[in-house]
Amino acid sequence: MDMHLIRLGILLFLLGLLTGLAAPKLKNPRMGLSSHLEGAMNGMFLVIVGLIWSRLELSHAWLIVTFWLVVYAAYANWLATLLAAVWGAGAPMMPIAAADRTGSASQERVIGTLLISLAVSIIAGCVLILVGLTL
């Protein structure tokens, strides 16, 4: 799983770089910058988790749960901010980057669902990683 995390991290880092190139063309370039940064930072996060993966002392089942929690959270973070940038939406959940830009109700639901679910996922994943490192 460690190499999968590293590969997925490098892929997300690349997606973040490409998002940075596209950011000026998006409906909300400032949110595009946020998406660029989320891709780059979360890509590095996945690479780091991949590098420490062999040190985690968790059961196989918990390792699988941890893997999917952090991968989902990393990609959902990039995707939520990218969708907000493309749609010109996101003000209810991300008022600083979205400014006053609000999308349709369904667009805001998609963004909100991604943001809330990724927050729960990344917190749970980090707790599991911390537990796995301290056992």
Tokens of 34: 């946020």
What's the rounded Cα separation, in Å, for the pair 16 and 92?
A: 23
Task: Show the domain range for 76.
Answer: 2-134
Q: Which of 93, 91, 97 minimizes the C-alpha distance to 38?
A: 97
65 burial level (CB within 10 Å; 0-12, 13-18, 19+): middle
Instruction: List the pLDDT tens digit at each of the 135 positions of the chain.
Output: 999 999 999 999 999 999 999 999 999 999 999 999 999 999 999 999 999 999 999 999 999 999 999 999 999 999 999 999 999 999 998 988 888 899 999 999 999 999 999 999 999 999 999 999 996
pLDDT in tens, 113-127: 999 999 999 999 999
Whole-number Å distance between alpha carbons of 98 and 81? 9
Number of structural domains the chain divides into: 1
Q: Is the Cβ–Cβ distance between 89 and 23 less than 8 Å?
A: no
Alpha carbon distance 45, 5 (integer Å): 9
